Amino acid sequence: MDLPALPSVANLPFVESLYYAWLEDPSSVDEGWRRYFEALPGTPGAAPAPAAFAPRRPDGAHAVRVTAAPTADAAFQSKVDAMVEAYREFGHLRAHLDPLGLIHPAERFSLEAFGLSERDLDRPTADPGGRGDGTSSAGAGQALRDLVGRLEETYCRSIGVELGHIDDRELRGWLQQRMERTRNRLTLAPEVRKELYGKILEAEMLEQFLGTRFLGSKRFSIEGAEGFVALVEFLLDRAVGHGIRNVVIGMAHRGRLNVLANIVAKPLQDIFAEFRDTGIVGSGGGDVKYHLGYSSDRDTPDGVPFHVSLAFNPSHLEWIDTVVQGRVRAKQDRYRDFDRLRSMALLVHGDASFAGQGIVAEGLEMSELETYHVGGTVHVIVNNQVGFTTSPRDARSTTYCTGPARMLQIPIFHVNGEDMEAVAQAVLLATDFRQRFHRDAVIDLWVYRRHGHNEGDEPSFTQPVMYRAISRKPTLRQVYAEQLVRDGVLGPEDVQAMASAYRARLEEAYQASARIAARPSPQTMGGVWRGYQGGPLGRDEPPTGVPEPQLREAGLSLSQVPQGFHVHPKLARVLEARAEMARGHRPLDWGMAEALAYATLALEGTRVRLVGQDTRRGTFSHRHAVLFDHETGVPYTPLAHLREGQGPVEIRDSLLSEAAALGFEYGYSLDMPEGLTIWEAQFGDFVNSAQVLIDQFLSSAEAKWKRLSGLVLFLPHGMEGQGPEHSSARLERFLELSVDDNWRVVNLTTPAQIFHALRRQVVARSRKPLVVMTPKSLLRLPAAVSPLRDLAEGGFRPILPDEQADPSEVTRAVLCSGKLYYDLVAARETMRAGHAALIRVEELYPLHDEEIRNALRAYRPGVELVWAQEEPSNMGAWDYVDLHLSPRLPSPLTLVARPPSASPAVGSSSHHRLEQEQLVRQALGEPASRLSRVESRAAIQEH
């Protein structure tokens, strides 16, 4: 008999009862259980005094621990055990975390609560670590009094640790042991204390310098949390010790300037020059100084450079999180760091943001998924106990601001930000935990905010009590200096000398900044970005065709599976069709052309990463990029097995998130310019869940931060009678944001076009995001196919002129984009409307007006011009086309569209069909019939 399930928290009582039954009479339990118990260490056959069962699963999932049947001493010990567990689980409530002393720790545990009393204090306790399960080390054989003292120190001093939510015993055991052995205290060497003090000093002095020299300028001071800068420094040192060679820091406003200057070594004079704000900003407009990123190399003992980047960020606080993680994943992939131990993300959060912004929870949920794994992220919350003017009681429902992190099997260290030894211990535990278990860890740094939210803000309007306490507090620099002098680490003259030296640096940089005439431009085109370009896009299309023999070979490998693989019967036909397409016996559909784009790029060595909801199969079942053995369920990705040495191909399903998921892929594209990185929405309608990524990053990163991205967005779009929420990717919004060649927006009609558009993303030297309105019904439309030849020749075609219409008959030229074209072609056929030419605008941005005019030259002058779209007239491309294309056409452009509407589509599919028929008739210039919800109006020609 197989075991019903491995022991887990859920079935522990059941397993224990079986165990005792087995001890009494081995034959009373099933054979499977018998074998299991017999195999346990220390329990050979006969009944031993059971200690504990070591964790049996390599992943450390729940192991069983069974204690002996109670005796007099055992009864005492079990009370002690209960007390130990209480300290481990609830000790954090009693920790002294608040440097302001306004939040009072909970009452001390009473011995009586555990059935113990003062009289027991000198009784020896058993070593909880002696159980052999490696889960405890609270102290060997010590008296209860000493044990309580040790637990108080470990769990209730300046570090409160949350472990109660971790049900994986290996993780818990490791953490407990690390903390209990050391009493959660780290003795720092004098040089380290001095180094930490140096950072605290720099943090405070920089803020004060900025505050006096640039009075009233916003800088989102870190004062009150100066220990944070020392924490980051200590963490980076620790990271170097672990062999980490890349850290990407993501953080919002608070303390960014300090991290820029004192951690990533952005030259002080450049920062000051930005404060002086003289001169005109360069192209794009740039961004405020506290949003800019910077990176630099640090020296390491082994001479291998250690690269630290602070990512740029928009004001939107936590939205940078998964962008940073995506960057780290790309670095890990590039350097083949598959253990994900040499590059690390450090995310710095605000207390209010961490609790309030849902993207945090999305990001945490991603952390253990193979698609998004980065080997664990260290999170630091600069918990100044306020968000702008909002107090914690209005900012969250959870006990701590770290509440969302409790869903993961990771430790949360709450630490008093004024106890530097405790801060260092928390950093040590967090980084060691990350390196050891490849999981996230959270440090909640309890500090305060010395001033208002920004420097012009008066905080005592809303937090009078807190600010009275703050005004009485000496700075951490003062407190720590006194401590170090008291401990003989520094002399008073050293303290003075360190301050003078930094003041001199500040002064010198300030003078130098006066000589900087132009605002420094961000340096972003180095490293892996060398050779790529942003700025204006040429209108010449690079050749992206691939010779037919190569297409054929790639196509045939796509239709093959390994020996013994059981293909789903329905997919066998799909694979056969693909083979026929590859042989040129049948034209290519969209799915095949898309797959060939990936395959040919991979064969050229390009890395391909495509992630989205249900992307492996494809929402519309067109892709089947990953096949599942019909018998075993084992997946197989033909694209990843084209030949030795090909570029890696990752096609993965995302978690059900748009915001965090898109952020991650965007981040990936920032560090993988040579790859093809694609994020796919389930339906384009859902992309607005990630609107911040579109507005703040994709469309404007080049303008603000000079950071390029070649990310592709697949957004299924088209009116197909599926109702208001399954019709529109809001093309109009992308077009509204289109300017200065900031990206490309396409709405394609043929398989060859997606093939070339995807290849162009890699083949071209320019890197711009590509927004693709992808098809739904076209995936299966027999007319929407391309011959293999079209993939072999030429490149992407922004405009597809009408190759069927007889120019001499044409009196009306209909410009359109996307799937409506096929409806128009079919109607033209049935209605014998040969007078209408159909010109497809495949790339809407950048606009190819010259090519459109060229296409129109085939027809007689004065031909009637129509823009036809299936979207309501207040949506789709019309406003954009009217504004940017109409003035560049030889005659007025008339609109045919659905009438303006608050929602993108009707909720009835038959109503949709009627509307569509009507729309098509009108576009072709046929009289409208009864039902006229379709709008036709002339655009006002401006010239």
Residue 20 is inside which H or E element, if any? helix 12-24
Site stretch for Mg ion (CB under 5 A), options 384-392, 674-682, 683-691, 846-854: 384-392
607 binds, among ligand TPP, Mg ion, none (CB under 5 to 8 A by kind): none
With tokens 């004098």, the residue in question is 190
What are 348's two structure tokens? 């710095």
Considering only 148, 311, 323, 386, the residue that binds ligand TPP (CB under 6 A) is 386
Alpha-carbon dihedral sign for residues 808, 814, 815, 819: negative
316 binds, among Mg ion, ligand TPP, none (CB under 5 to 8 A by kind): ligand TPP
Nearest distance from C-beta of residue 690 to ligand TPP, angstroms? 13
- Which of 224/710 has CB closer to ligand TPP? 224
Residues 516-545 that bind ligand TPP (CB under 6 A): none
Q: Does 387 bind ligand TPP (CB under 6 A)?
A: yes
- Which of 388/686 has CB closer to ligand TPP? 388
- Which of 352/442 has CB closer to Mg ion? 352
Interface characters, 330-359, with ligand TPP (x: CB under 6 A)? --------------------xxxx------
Nearest distance from C-beta of residue 376 to ligand TPP, angstroms? 23
Q: Which of 469, 494, 500 lies closest to 482 in space, CA to CA?
A: 494
Residue 526: other Cβ atoms inside 10 A: 8
Angular region, 724: left φ>0, alpha ψ -120 to 50, beta rest: alpha
Specify whether the CB–CB gap between 679 and 665 falls below 8 A: yes
Helices (H), 515-637: 548-558, 569-583, 590-603
Interface characters, 437-476, with ligand TPP (x: CB under 6 A)? ------------x---x-----------------------
The one-letter amino acid at 517: A
CA dist list (Å): 736 to 283, 691, 719, 806, 879 = 20, 13, 20, 35, 9
Nearest distance from C-beta of residue 444 to ligand TPP, angstroms? 12
Q: Could you give the CA distance from residue 302 to residue 298 in angstroms, rounded to a whole number?
A: 11
Q: Does 387 bind Mg ion (CB under 5 A)?
A: yes
- Which of 350/647 has CB closer to Mg ion? 350
Considering only 28, 71, 315, 632, the residue that binds ligand TPP (CB under 6 A) is 315
658 binds, among ligand TPP, Mg ion, none (CB under 5 to 8 A by kind): none
388 binds, among Mg ion, ligand TPP, none (CB under 5 to 8 A by kind): ligand TPP
- Which of 295/353 has CB closer to ligand TPP? 353
Residues 251-290 that bind ligand TPP (CB under 6 A): 254
Considering only 98, 287, 351, 720, the residue that binds Mg ion (CB under 5 A) is 351
- Which of 231/810 has CB closer to Mg ion? 231
Residue 500, classified by CB atoms within 10 Å of its CB into exposed (0-12), middle (13-18) or buried (19+), is: exposed
Considering only 350, 375, 392, 667, the residue that binds Mg ion (CB under 5 A) is 350
Q: Which residue is nearest to ligand TPP (CB)?
A: 350
Considering only 269, 384, 753, 869, the residue that binds ligand TPP (CB under 6 A) is 384
* Backbone phi and psi for residue 538, each to the nearest 5 degrees, phi listed first: -70, 165
Residue 140: other Cβ atoms inside 10 A: 12
With tokens 């019904």, the residue in question is 777
Considering only 175, 271, 317, 588, the residue that binds ligand TPP (CB under 6 A) is 317
Specify whether the CB–CB gap between 703 and 742 falls below 8 A: yes
Q: Cβ neighbours of residue 119 under 8 Å, at least 6 residues apart?
A: none
Interface characters, 898-927, with ligand TPP (x: CB under 6 A)? ------------------------------
Specify whether the CB–CB gap between 333 and 672 falls below 8 A: yes
Nearest distance from C-beta of residue 320 to Mg ion, angstroms? 16
Considering only 29, 179, 382, 816, the residue that binds ligand TPP (CB under 6 A) is 382
Q: Does 384 bind Mg ion (CB under 5 A)?
A: yes
Specify whether the CB–CB gap between 259 and 203 falls below 8 A: no
Q: Could you give the CA distance from residue 876 to residue 589 in angstroms, rounded to a whole number?
A: 26
Radius of gyration of the chain (CA): 33
Specify whether the CB–CB gap between 417 and 225 falls below 8 A: yes
Residue 48: other Cβ atoms inside 10 A: 13
Q: Could you give the CA distance from residue 148 to residue 904 in angstroms, rounded to a whole number?
A: 66
Q: Could you give the CA distance from residue 163 to residue 411 in angstroms, rounded to a whole number?
A: 6
The upper half-sphere exposure of residue 21, i.e. CA atoms within 13 Å in the direction of its Cβ, equals: 13
Angle between helices 820-830 and 909-923 (to 10 degrees): 70
Specify whether the CB–CB gap between 128 and 136 falls below 8 A: yes
Q: Does 353 bind Mg ion (CB under 5 A)?
A: no
Nearest distance from C-beta of residue 135 to ligand TPP, angstroms? 36
Site stretch for ligand TPP (CB under 6 A), options 380-388, 436-444, 580-588, 863-871: 380-388
Nearest distance from C-beta of residue 392 to Mg ion, angstroms? 9
Number of residues binding to ligand TPP, judged by CB under 6 A: 15
- Which of 402/817 has CB closer to ligand TPP? 402
298 binds, among ligand TPP, Mg ion, none (CB under 5 to 8 A by kind): none
Nearest distance from C-beta of residue 314 to ligand TPP, angstroms? 8
* Interface residues toward Mg ion, by CB under 5 A: 350-352, 384, 387
* Interface residues toward ligand TPP, by CB under 6 A: 254, 315-317, 350-353, 382, 384, 386-388, 449, 453
